[in-house]
Structure 1
Amino acid sequence: MDFIEQLRNELQKPLPGIEVQLEMASGNRLFYKEFKNPKTPKTGAVLIPLYFENNKPHIILIKRTTDNGPHSGQMAFPGGMFENGDITLYKTAIREAFEEIGIFEKNIE
C-alpha cells in the first residue's frame, strides 16, 4: 500500500476527540472556555499541503501570528474562516492557502 492510499484509509477512521486536541493545544489555549464548549462554533477549513520530494512525503505548515488569541503562535496548516463568497469549505481552504502560502488551485489535486 502506498503512502496516499494509507493516508486515505486513516482519514476514514473516527476522530479521536477533545483529549487529543488538548494534548496538542498551546498553553494559553487551555484558558479559553469556548475551546471545550463553544456556544457558536466557527466554520472554517484548512488545506493539508502534501508534496513529495525524493519520494518522501512532506507537508507545509505556517506559524500563526503572536497576538494573544486562541491560536496565537501556533504551527498550523494554512486555513481559516468560511466567508460567504467561498460557497463551500473546499473553496475556503483553497482561498486561505493562496492567501497564506501562495498555492494556486490549479496546482492542487
Structure 2
Amino acid sequence: MQKERRITDPRPDIKEDSVLWEKLLNLKMVALDYDVCWLLHGFRCQGTVLVKHNDTYVLRPLVGKDGWESAEEYKKQRDIYLVPHRDKIALALKEVAKELTKAGA
C-alpha cells in the first residue's frame, strides 16, 4: 500500500497562514487536480497569502522584497492562470474555512 504524499507549504517563512496553505494544497479536490494544485503552489512560492473574508478565504499578493513585484503584476498573472480555475479554487478556499470552523479554529 502506497503512503499518501503530503504537500508542504513552499513558503513556511510566511508563518501567518502556513497551516492554511498546507490544508489547501492537500485538499483532495485540489491535490487530485494537477493544474490547480501546482498553480496554487506556484502562486504561494511567489508570495500569495490567504486572507479571511466573510465565510471563506481569498488570495492576496504579498508585495515587496519577499513577494510579488507589484499588485498589478499579481493581478495580471492571476487573470492568466487562476481565473480560468476560479470556481474550483473558490470551492477549495471555502472548504478550508469550513474545516477550520469544524475544528474550532
Q: Which has the larger radius of gyration?
A: 1
TM-score, normalised by the number of residues in structure 2:
0.26
TM-score, normalised by the number of residues in structure 1:
0.26
Higher strand share: 1
Q: Which has the higher contact order (CA 8 A, sep 6+)?
A: 2
